[in-house]
Structures are given as structure tokens and as C-alpha cells.
Amino acid sequence: MAADHAPGAPDTAEMVLVHRLFLQEYTAAVALVRAVRAGDTARAAVVAGHLGALGQMLTEHHRAEDELLWPRLAADPALDAAVVARMEEQHEHIAAALARLHRALPQWAAGAEPDLTAQVAHACTVLLPALEEHLGDEERHILPLVPGRFTAAQWAQLSARGRAAVPPAHRLYMLAALGEAAGNKHRQEFLRRLPAPVRLLYRVAGRRLRRRTWHRLSTTPGHRRRAAA
């Protein structure tokens, strides 16, 4: 991840952190989906809700880049035309993989049938390498061009769009997951970006928050009630 940005310069490291969050969560989702037992619709619905939230965030991440980033950079002489073409192709590939995944989610959540469980897990595994390649290209070829072509305020619009795309019911989970994606190395940098009340919440309860939100995602609601009884 890039080092802290200079004062007044666009904070591109924040986007790298968001990319890590997507890769971390789709990787974890493969095992989460596969662990859903046949007919366990309660758990399938929770995992499907999580994948729905991630998909909404990823779609908006790309839509905001299409609207705010590419019009400024696509024709930039510093950018190799072959890279632009490859990245456009990757965007389409990712959009198609996401669409396949999201088409399967409602039926999977309703029945938790093993065939559909395998289909949803497979859709996540297909999405991952495409996403990894695309986000890596973006970090290698696009983000280094941003300082000097975007002001901090212009770049901050992308972050604002990303934050607004997180469904309210998933905000605590995503905050905890983002802290994990930052790791110990980038934890301070991650904390500095948070509004003061959220930073305090994370400092006081970050680890507990991650345990609790992960537990909610990875166990069946009925089992949780029985365990709590």
C-alpha cells in the first residue's frame, strides 16, 4: 500500500485499502458459502445479504471510477492504450461475473439447495482472479498518475461515493473488515481517516466489533439463539 499522502494531495492509499477489502471479503465468502448446509435458508439469507452488500459496493466503486476517473485519464498520453483496453475488458468481465452471482442469490437464499450453493461459491471463485488482476492494474498503472491530475477534493468525491454505497445495515461489519484489511501496518493510517466519533468507537471496540460482526455472518441465526440460551 502507498505511504501516507502529502498534505493537500489526493489520498490514493485509501483506494488501495478498499481494494484489499473487496479481495479479503470475496475470498472469505467462498468458504462461507460452501459452509451453508443444505436447506439452511437462515444462514444462506445472511450470506446472500452480505454478498449483495459487497456487490452493491463494488458496482458503485466501478461506476464512480467510470464517471469521475476514466474521463480524465483514458486519453492521457502517460497511459498505455493497451492497458486501457485491457482494463475495460476486465471491467466487463467483472460486471458479467457479478451479474451471474447476483442472479443466483435470491433463489439460493430461499432454498439453500446444494446445486445453487455450488453455483454461488463458483461465481465467487470466478470473480476473484478477474478482480485481483483489475485492481492490481489500477494500482500499478492508474493510481500513480492521480497526483497532479486530480485535486484532493476531486479525488475525495470517489471516497464519498464509496462510503455512501455501503448499505446502512452493513456499515459496522464493513468498518471492522476495513480495519482488518488495513492490518497492523496501516492501522494508524486507517484510523486517521475516520471521523472522530467512529475512530473512538473503533479504538474502544474494534477487535470486539470484528469478532461479533464475523460471528453474525458465519453462524446460523437459529444456532446463535440456541448458543445464547
Q: Which residues bind Fe ion (CB under 5 A)?
A: 138
Which residue lies nearer to Fe ion by CB, 14 or 138? 138
Closest distance of CB 146 from Fe ion, Å: 11
Residues 158, 191 contacting (CB under 8 angstroms): no
| Nearer CB in complex with Fe ion: 33/146 | 146
Q: How far is the CB of 113 from Fe ion (least distance, A)?
A: 34
CA distance 185 to 11: 17
- DSSP letters spanning 93-104: HHHHHHHHHHHH
Residue 33 or 131: the one with the smaller Cβ distance to Fe ion is 131
Which DSSP category does 76 fall into? -
Q: In angstroms, what is the minimal distance from the CB of 63 to Fe ion?
A: 11
- Give the C-alpha separation, 130 to 91, whole Å: 9
Query: With respect to Fe ion, which residue has the nearer C-beta, 40 or 138?
Result: 138
**Shortest CB 144 distance to Fe ion, Å:** 13
CA distance 26 to 46: 15
